[in-house]
Structure 1
Amino acid sequence: MLKNLKIGTKFNLILMLVFLVSIFVTGLALSRVLEQRAQNEVTSQALILIKTMNSVRSYTQNRINGLLAPRLATEPAFIPETVPAFSATEVFEYLRKNPEYENFLYKEATLNPTNLRDKADNFEAKLVEQFRQNPKTPEISGFRDFPDGQVFYIARPLAVTQQSCLQCHSTPDQAPKSLLATYGTENGFGWKLNDIIAAQIISVPSEDVFANANRTWKLIMGLLVAIFAIVVLLINYLIKKTVIQRIRKIEKIAQQVSTGDMSADFAEQSHDEIGGLAAAFNRMKASLEIAMNLLNQQNH
């Protein structure tokens, strides 16, 4: 079938094949690069925020707790600012009042929390169990669907690393009276040293980031398709002008010569391969003309 096609058609088929393969490979590679870039962007945002919250926790533990802890035994109500988890959560809620961060989430999801605000849901409880089953796992990340859209999360284990934490979380009789007065005796007890009791989770909205990456991909691919199309059309025009039309002209003259019209001339000004072919045809025509003249002379 290909043997019956004209040179121009064959060349166009090759160009289209190269065009399609190039677009496919380029699109696939570009998609992966942009997707990885979007992934890195949301991961970077999450890591910055989780490091910030850890700084708040450390400041509360090392500075605020020492100042306020003595008052826990005398105050009628518990002072939650002494708890690193409370301080980090409150600071993050202030951050969420900014419109650009309103869909970001921070939670120290706990299986048995003192403050029920920190109670882990089913998804978060599974993360805590994963950390408990694999204590050496430093971090778990992935995507989670919320009503407002998909988010990227990073979760890290939180363990009881200081003996002082057990003052409020071992047994009710060891806890400050102000804590019992505020939160009761049912929740947040039975913790043990070095036990993983929670997962620190930061959630970053990812749909907009990936949507921007998708729009960028479409824009770049559109430009590439347009550029490839222009290049194909330009090459096709040049091939037609510099090769196909000149070969057709030589073919037409050759047909005239084959019917005995020796006045036809393979006129070709260029010195390229096609010009050389035309010169060779002219020499062949001259040789043929001489041979025919000699043959006529012998016949007479």
Structure 2
Amino acid sequence: MGLRMKFNLVLLLAFVIGLALAGYLSDRILKDNAREEVLQSARIMMESALGARAYTAEHVKPLLTLQMKRQFLPQTVSAYAAAQSFKALRTKFPEYTYKEAALNPTNPNDRASDWEADIIQEFRNNAERKELIVERDTPTGRMLNLGRPLGIYDAGCLSCHGKVEDAPKTMTDIYGVNNGFGWKLNEIIGAQVVTVPMSVPLARAQKTLTTFMILLGGVFLLLLVLLNILLHFVVIRPVVRMATIATEVSMGKPDVPEYVKPGSDEISSLSQSFSRMRLSLESAMKMLGE
């Protein structure tokens, strides 16, 4: 196996190891960045929903208190206001959702699905937990779900969701008396869940990774060509030339041309030493012949 082959094999092995390591680390970093991007979007959406809830509770509901005695207005419910504010968003981004899921909701549309019930149960079992992040694979792609606990911390909520007999008749006429009652103060009754698709950021991360790996491979090929050219002119060609001269001298061939590689590197120094050794050998042979 020649020097060039050994050099290329070592270089190729180093490249394969480096490429695998760079690909693995880059993939993790890009996917983590994509996940953080999605998570940041989910948190912004969550804060937007909280803002809609707070505005409804502080400014809208007080204005409609008297009217609520004659007719139940869902616009006074903070959860309804937050959900409605996302309808405009979903017209352009249908995969983005916000839901206030509950185990025992007043509106059946808010009943928690199986995976949402798991989130709620996690909050009920760990009261100190304030946020839960879940990733799910769905038919439309991978989704990130950001959940926050929904608890009863205002005794005023129990006027509608405590005992059935205390609830406004205008509300029970619409939703009935079978759901959304029996809630208790400081109880976790549900979870605010924001769902954001991860497919686009992940696809962008994959495209970036592919581009990076192609560029890295191109740089390696260019480096391989340049190093082989350098190896040929600086090392292999001078060594082959000296080996040829040594063979011809050892076979007694006369008038073998002298070779000294110009320069000050190690190969040049070797060629100079080889030339001096050859001259010394020829002088010694002449002296023996005399």
Q: TM-score normalized by structure 1? A: 0.93
Aligned equivalents of 2:258 and 2:6: distance in 1?
Answer: 26
Tell me which of 280, 286, 289 is aligned to 1:293: 286
**1:193 aligns to 2:185 (yes or no):** yes
Aligned AA for 2:86?
F
1:261, 1:282 → 2: CA distance?
16
Letter of the 1:90 partner, please give it: Q
- CA drift at 1:265: 2.9
> Structure 1, residues 94-124: CA drift from partner, whole Å, max 9, x if none?
22112xx211011000111111111111111
State the secondary structure of the residue aligned to 1:112. coil
2:261 and 2:272 in contact (8 A); partners too? no
Q: Quick one: distance in 2 between partners of 1:142 and 1:159?
A: 20
The 3 A distance-change label for structure 1 pair 105 and 164 is same
- 1:42-53 correspondence to structure 2 within 5 Å: 42-53=38-49
Q: Distance in 1 between matches of 2:85 and 2:36?
A: 25
Q: Give secondary structure in 1 for the equivalent of 2:258.
A: coil
Partner of 1:157: 149
Structure 1 residues 72-221: aligned runs within 5 Å: 72-75=68-71, 78-98=72-92, 101-221=93-213
Q: Which has the higher mean CA deviation after the structures are superposed, 120-129 or 42-51?
A: 120-129
Query: Deviating runs (4+, > 6 A) in structure 1?
Result: none
- Show the counterpart of 1:60: 56
Compare 166-175 and 196-205 and name the one that shifted more: 166-175
Cα distance in 2 between the residues matched to 1:8 and 1:137: 62
- Cα distance, 1:25 vs structure 2: 1.3
**Does the residue aligned with 2:91 lie in a helix, a strand or coil?**
coil
Q: Which amino acid aligns with 1:191?
A: W
Deviation for aligned residue 1:129: 1.1
Deviates further, 279-288 or 58-67: 279-288
Please, what TM-score do these two structures have when normalized by structure 2?
A: 0.96
- Report the alpha carbon displacement of residue 164 of structure 1 after superposing the two structures with TM: 0.8
For the 8 Å contact 2:261–2:267, the answer to whether it is kept is no
Distance, in Å, in 2 between the alignment partners of 1:251 and 1:226 is 35
Query: What is residue 283 of structure 1 aligned with on the other side?
Result: 276
The one-letter amino acid paired with 2:209 is W
What is the RMSD of the two structures over their aligned residues, measured on CA atoms?
A: 1.2
1:32-54 Cα deviation digits (max 9, x unpaired): 11011101110011000000000
Q: Is there any run of 5+ residues in structure 1 with no aligned partner, and where?
A: none
What's the secondary structure of 2:128's corresponding residue? coil
Q: Percent identity?
A: 37
